[in-house]
Amino acid sequence: MKKYFLFVFTLLICFPVYSSDSTATILNKLNDALKKKQYYVKLKEERILNFKKIKSADLTKEQEYNYNKALYAEYQKFNSDSAIFYVKKNLRIAAELQNKELSDLANLQLVSLYSSSGKYRESEGILKSIDKRKLSVTLLPTYYIAYREFFEHYAANSYNKRYIEQIQQYRDSLLTVLDPSSLNYKINKIQQEIYQKKYAVAQKKLVDLLQHQKEDNPQYAMIAYLLGSIYEGTHQLELRKKYYALSATSDIKNANKDNASLQELALVFYEVGDVDMAYKLTQSAIEDALYCNVQFRTLLMSEVYSIINTVYLEKEAKRKTELQLYLLCISLLSVFLIVAVIYVYKQMKKVSKIRGELYESGQKLAELNKDITETNNQLQERNAQLSESNHIKEEYIAHFFSLCSTYINKLENYRIILNKKATAKQFDEIYKMLKSTTLVDTELEELYKNFDSIFLNLYPTFVKDFNELLIKEEQIVLKQGELLNTELRIFALIRLGITDSVKIAAFLRYSLSTIYNYRTRARNKAAVSRNDFEEMVMKIGLISLKT
């Protein structure tokens, strides 16, 4: 029979009845309640304020006593100082009415409030002044509760096995005077069974009670707390966490500042290594105890808080050290990146310098074509500044070398002709050839055609884009066979980065004033701002080139 009982007990402990929600869901609800704690406090204060507003000016003394008793009940677990205030008002009313029963009730209420506030001598003095034999039968439960709570509160301040025995004795006495069908009797009976370590019996009763209580009922928190204490006694960590969380959530939503669940739950999280949550719960529990002025809770929490706070601060210090390490690593990486950028920049400068030297070598080989070389040089520099594609640069260089080769061949042919005529002593012919400008004009015309062709190959939409910058009636219409006219060539050179009018005049063989006039007229015909006109010309082809 004994083995059978142990088997049943083991089954009940290992397979408890669970709440409908998972532990994670319950903890989420608790976190949400903690965030809204001030909101629930505000609701409580508004409810009390609304109750105070309905007080009538013509209440009888008995009615005023009951009114103050209702406010005491509201403040009892919310603000002990306010609760004491209304109990003292009732003591004065009871004295005026010379009603011993009302006076005894107020004194017993004051006992619990004083003992929870740390006023043990005052509390004990009141208890000793009350003669149990002269108490009304209806006040005996309150009398035993006051004594039980007095020893509970005193034991928190100065633990002694004798105080625990006193608590159990007064609970036993309380059970003899309570209605066995009442919820208060059932809870006290269950507490007695827990003290006697009858966990299986107590658990079954508590689960049944919890199913019939709503979360907004203050007794719901007590029932859930007792379930948590059972699972603490049976070393079931997850269930202990779950039911302490249910109890704490109910207390927060009811604005119950005198609660034990937050403290116990903080210890659970501390045991599992979640110091952040333990610290958060401890802080909330201390705030509640201080708000309600519950001294014995503050004393209980101070020990827990010092342990958790120390671990929390150590963890924060470790996080700070890790953060400093990360910042150091980031700083070192940043320095490395800066060094790398500087190195790449210097390498690019070296490459640019090498390109310049190669370009100068090509320039020396083409001294007779100085104007063309300068123009090509400016185009190359402009292309480099605007980061144009390598494909265009290669194509432009190919045209450049082709032109150089062509002009060198022509110079060689011209030298051969002059040499032959000099050998034949045809000096008049030589003089005529040197005096004639036909060759130069022909070469210039071919140069401009080559320039137009090369430029439009680089910027095929230049004429169209340039016209879009002009008002409609002033747009340029090219003649049959023309690629570019003089005005377009001027702005083609500007597009290539040659903005100096002196250089443009030298290249196109015009006077400086002519170039100025062309540029001014174009700005006057602009459909955009005159000041931005040439800048916008220099941006023609950028979008298409980059795509």
Per-position DSSP letters for 112-164, written without gaps between them? HHHHHTT-HHHHHHHHHHS-GGGS-GGGHHHHHHHHHHHHHHHHHHS--HHHH
Distance CA(162)–CA(483), nearest Å, equals 114
SS3 state at 526? strand
Looking at residue 194, what is its pLDDT?
87
Would you give the distance in Å from CA 156 to the centre of its chain? 42
The CA-atom distances, in angstroms, between 10 and each of 190, 199, 200, 239, 423 are: 19, 11, 9, 16, 130
Q: State residue 344's pLDDT score.
A: 86
H/E run at residue 84: helix 80-97
Please give the average pLDDT of every successive group of 10 residues along the chain, which has 547 residues.
39 43 88 91 91 84 92 89 91 92 92 85 89 90 89 74 83 90 90 88 90 85 90 90 90 86 85 84 82 72 65 66 78 84 85 80 71 64 55 55 62 72 75 68 82 86 91 88 87 89 89 91 90 89 52
What does the pLDDT read at residue 12?
Answer: 41
Q: Which residues contact 135 (CB under 8 A, 6 or more apart)?
A: 104, 143
| Residue 197, token pair as written in the block | 């370590």
DSSP string, 352-387: HHHHHHHHHHHHHHTGGGHHHHHHHHHHHHHHHHTT
Measured CA angle at 32 (ends 27, 34), to 5 deg: 95
3-class SS letters over 88-121: HHHHHHHHHHCCHHHHHHHHHHHHHHHHHCCCHH
**pLDDT computed for residue 163 by the predictor:** 78
Q: How confident is the model at residue 67, as a pLDDT?
A: 92
Residue found under tokens 């689960």: 207
Environment class of residue 6 by beta-carbon count within 10 Å: exposed (0-12), middle (13-18) or buried (19+)?
Answer: exposed
The confidence score (pLDDT) of residue 547 equals 39
The pLDDT assigned to 165 comes to 83
Contact 55/71 with Cβ under 8 angstroms?
no
pLDDT of residue 310: 67
